[in-house]
Structure formats: structure tokens, C-alpha cells
């Protein structure tokens, strides 16, 4: 079972897009890409406040390798964003100017230090040197607090994910390195289906609360003031789904590139087309350096959306 209604038309169109992309980029293999695609009948709903009612109204969707476990890089920020708003809403932590700044910078600039502060606040842990066995067990239990929260939602898509690591520009040290594992066996892991379901809940206004969902959407929104981000020296639009979309497109998205991954999620509203949500993960050193793959696929999805 999936949270979306598997649609045969999307299945045909989606498979055609994958095949066209593999023909255009011969270095890309089927095992290096995972996709989840949702199509909405109308722009995002802000009026459904009952989560049960929301999930009963399944959106049309399709995925290819949507349950494949993949290192997410900074896509994990979306999960930490939802968690910190849950903590704030429940009064588990108190807001402050520094926490608000960290939340904003975690999303708007994918800042590692900002993410580290958010993780510290979420889990009551801090980085540092190695710990003796007893305190380290307590530290690890606390660090898995976010994992336990998402598992409590009982979403099948979340069963195989792992969210307990900070993000780093290089390698972690001390207790963080030991916790990650010598073979990185405890690193963060996500799937496109899990990411799509979480983003879908934010778009629908039922992640944490309607008010919290709106705040999260505002952070994810691309707008005219961010137009400078299309310059290579200032941002990440180059090489991602929103690169070649029309100026009048409404886009809520985050894209990340690392040494071995290039990932992107986006909820997109285009004039005269049905809104849609895309999560695309790509893996491989050569693939991560290729700035043409995701924009190419984005254009293919726009063409597909014109068929509805």
C-alpha cells in the first residue's frame, strides 16, 4: 500500500521520462535514480484540518524505486524542519532568536552549523569528544529522538529511514564519528516515497498544524527576491528542477548536491496546468556533477503535465 493512488497514466509517462533521460545521458543507469511523482487536481488545499480526512483523499501518484534506501544529504533538513515545529508546537522546546535563525538558515542556505544547532535542540545532545560507554548509550538514545517521533506516525514509508545524524561539509569527529559508524552504517537514509509523503503533508497543511505547515511552506517558497540564486556564485537553482521553469511558476523546493548525490524535491504550480510534486534522488560521482539531468527531467515532466 502507498499513500497515493497508483495511476497507470502516470506510470506510462514516468517510465517514458526515465527512458528518455537514460538515452540523453548514457552515464545514467536505472539503479542511480529514484523518483516519486504526485499530481493534484487543484492548487494546494489549506482548509482540510483533519489529518484522517486528508489521507482518505488519495492523490494520484507514481514512483520508480520509491522505496530504495538512499543517502539523502541535506534533504534530511525537511524532516528536521517538521520535527522542530512539532517540538515548538507541543512546548517541548522554546523558541529564541538564535533557534529561529538556525531554522531559517538550515532551509534557505542549507547551512551545516544551523542544522547542527537544530539537531542539538531536538535531541538535547551536543557534539564533542568520545564518551565512556554509559553516557554514550544515553547520548545515542537521545540522538534517536527524531527517529522515534517519525516512527510514531506509523507511516509505512518511514519504516526503513534513519534520521539521527547532523550534516557535515567533511567528516565528523569524536562521538559523532563513532555514532555514524566506521562504515557509515548509521548514516542518514531516506527514500523518495518517504520524502514525498512528508512534503505532501506540508503542502496539504496537516504537518504538525495548519499554522506550522504554512510557516514551512513560506521557508520552502522560491520567489522573485531569490532570483539572484540562479547565479552560480549565489545559489543552487543551476542544475535543479526549477532552473528552466517559467518566471510565473510557483515553486516550493530544495535541491542539494554532494560528492556522490544530487537530489531535489519540489511542489510546482504552473499556469493552466495541474499542480504536481516531484522528489528525485540521483546517485553517482559523475551523475552528481552533471547539472543538466534534473533540468532536463523537469522539462519532460512539464510536457507530461500538459497531457492532463
Instruction: Name the 3-class secondary structure at 37.
Output: strand
Residue 217 CA: distances (Å) to CA of 203, 205, 220, 267: 7, 9, 5, 10
Beta 5-6 vs 261-269: how paired, if at all?
unpaired
What's the whole-number average pLDDT of the chain?
A: 93
| pLDDT grade for 277, boundaries at 50, 70 and 90 | very high
- Predicted confidence at residue 26, as pLDDT, reads 96
Rounded CA separation 167/231 (Å):
24
**Span of 144-158, 166-180, 225-239, 266-280 with lowest mean pLDDT:** 225-239
Instruction: Go through 141-168 and write b for each residue having 16 or more CB atoms within 10 A of its CB, e for each that does not.
Output: eebbbbbebbeeeebebbeebbbbbbbe
Statement: residue 44 has pLDDT above 80: no
Angle between helices 97-108 and 77-89 (to 10 degrees): 150
pLDDT band at residue 303, thresholds of 50, 70 and 90?
very high
Over range 264-271, report the average pLDDT: 97
Residue 81 pLDDT > 60:
yes
Q: Give the per-residue pLDDT at 42.
A: 86
pLDDT score at 46: 57
- Res. 227: pLDDT tops 90: no
Lowest mean pLDDT among 21-35, 44-58, 238-252: 44-58
Q: Is the pLDDT of residue 245 over 50?
A: yes
Residues 289/300, Cβ–Cβ less than 8 Å: no
3-state SS assignment for residue 61: strand
Distances (CA, A) of 30 to 21, 209, 211, 218, 277: 10, 38, 39, 34, 21
Helix (H) or strand (E) holding 278: strand 276-283
Task: Give residue-wise pLDDT tens across range 151-168.
Answer: 999 999 999 999 999 999
Q: Which long-range contacts (CB under 8 A, 24 or more apart) does 250-255 make?
A: 250/221, 251/221, 251/222, 252/203, 252/217, 252/220, 252/221, 252/222, 253/220, 253/222, 254/74, 254/75, 254/77, 254/78, 254/107, 254/110, 254/220, 255/294
What are the C-alpha distances in Å from 18 to residues 33, 100, 109, 224, 297?
Answer: 9, 39, 30, 31, 8
Amino acid at each position: 500500500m502507498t499513500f497515493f493512488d497508483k495511476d497507470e497514466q502516470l506510470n506510462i509517462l514516468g517510465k517514458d521520462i526515465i527512458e528518455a533521460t537514460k538515452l540523453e545521458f548514457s552515464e545514467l543507469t536505472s539503479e542511480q535514480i529514484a523518483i516519486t511523482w504526485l499530481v493534484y487536481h487543484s492548487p494546494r488545499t489549506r482548509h482540510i484540518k483533519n489529518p484522517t480526512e486528508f489521507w482518505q483523499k488519495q492523490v494520484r501518484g507514481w514512483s520508480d524505486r520509491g522505496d530504495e534506501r538512499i543517502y539523502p544529504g541535506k534533504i534530511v533538513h525537511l524532516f528536521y524542519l517538521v520535527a522542530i515545529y512539532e517540538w515548538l508546537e507541543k512546548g517541548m522546546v522554546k523558541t529564541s532568536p538564535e533557534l529561529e535563525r538556525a531554522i531559517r538558515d538550515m532551509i534557505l542556505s542549507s547551512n551545516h552549523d544551523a542544522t547542527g544547532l537544530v539537531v542539538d535542540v531536538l535531541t538535547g545532545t551536543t557534539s564533542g569528544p568520545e564518551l565512556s560507554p554509559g553516557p554514550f548509550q544515553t547520548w545515542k538514545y537521545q540522538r534517536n529522538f527524531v527517529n522515534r517521533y517519525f516512527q510514531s506516525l506509523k507511516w509505512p514509508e518511514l519504516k526503513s529511514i534513519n534520521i539521527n545524524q547532523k550534516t557535515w561539509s567533511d567528516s565528523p569527529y569524536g562521538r559523532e564519528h563513532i555514532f555514524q559508524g566506521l562504515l557509515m552504517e548509521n548514516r542518514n537514509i531516506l527514500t523518495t516515497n518517504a520524502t514525498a509523503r512528508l512534503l505532501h503533508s506540508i503542502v496539504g497543511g496537516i504537518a504538525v498544524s495548519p499554522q506550522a505547515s504554512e510557516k514551512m511552506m513560506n521557508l520552502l517558497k522560491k520567489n522573485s527576491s531569490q532570483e539572484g540564486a540562479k547565479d552560480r556564485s549565489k545559489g543552487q537553482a543551476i542544475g535543479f528542477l526549477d532552473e528552466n521553469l517559467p518566471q510565473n511558476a510557483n515553486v516550493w523546493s530544495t535541491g542539494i548536491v554532494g560528492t556522490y548525490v544530487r537530489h531535489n524535491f519540489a511542489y510546482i504550480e504552473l499556469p493552466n496546468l495541474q499542480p504536481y510534486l516531484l522528489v528525485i534522488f540521483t546517485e553517482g560521482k559523475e551523475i552528481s556533477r552533471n547539472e543538466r539531468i534534473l533540468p532536463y527531467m523537469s522539462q519532460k515532466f512539464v510536457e507530461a503535465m500538459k497531457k492532463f
